[in-house]
Amino acid sequence: MIKGVVFDLDGVITDTAEFHYLAWKELGEKIGIPFDRAFNENLKGISRMDSLERILELGNKQNDYSQEEKEALAHEKNEQYKELIKQITPSDILPGISTFIEDCKSKQLKLALASASKNGPAILESLGLKEEFGTIVDPASLAKGKPDPEIFIKGAELLGLKAEECIGVEDAEAGIAAVNAAGMFSVGVGNAESMKAADLFVEHTADLNLEAILQAVNN
């Protein structure tokens, strides 16, 4: 029986991908590695340091910086990102998500956040959703990022539930792989191709329907 829902943040609850893109792009240009939105798709759901590594690899500059310098670059990007996310308000909650959360609550489902973002708690606060979540997994406490299932397993654990008692909602391929490997029912948001590994997928957050998901779990 489903007793909890573990949510990804970026691309599911709100769309911070554009802010991540703008902040990385500014840093990339500064260090001579320009890139476009298509490349930015590779950074979705990936941790801050792993994102930086992918950008440096794109410019063939992964060996040009010491670990300390890489951390300074990631810090610089994050300062710019934090400036950009100051504009987030409850109006930035993606369509259908407030209703979906209310439906979960009325069925007494517990909610957890499993975001790779260290800015997750601040973003939930700005969206006015922090109180709805029973727990927020601290990504700094994890050994491995998505597609490793650790973040989803921990989310269920912190809710006091077994993974198979939870649904995981994700928009990234790496995220769906993590939910599946955790042993949860995976719900994808995105197109058929990128969500092909999900147990069930919808194209847009507005199409998320708790009744339909619970029926699919039981089939």
Known catalytic residue: 10?
Answer: yes
183: left (phi over 0), alpha (psi -120 to 50) or beta: left
Verify binding: residue 97, Mg ion, rule CB under 5 A.
no
Query: Which residue stretch of 37-45, 54-62, 87-95, 120-128 sits at the interface with Mg ion (rule: CB under 5 A)?
Result: 37-45
Sole binder of ligand B16 in the list 8, 150, 173, 199 (CB under 6 A): 8
Residues between 24 and 53 with contacts to ligand B16, criterion CB under 6 A: 43-48, 51
- Judged by beta carbon, residue 10 or residue 150, the one nearer Mg ion is 10
Sole binder of ligand B16 in the list 2, 52, 56, 117 (CB under 6 A): 117
Residue 218 burial (CB < 10 Å; 0-12/13-18/19+)? exposed
Task: Provide the minimum distance between the beta carbon of 219 and ligand B16 in the complex, in angstroms, as a whole number.
Answer: 28
- Judged by beta carbon, residue 25 or residue 48, the one nearer ligand B16 is 48
Known catalytic residue: 171?
Answer: no
Residues in the site for ligand B16, rule: CB under 6 A? Answer: 8-11, 20, 43-48, 51, 78, 115-119, 172
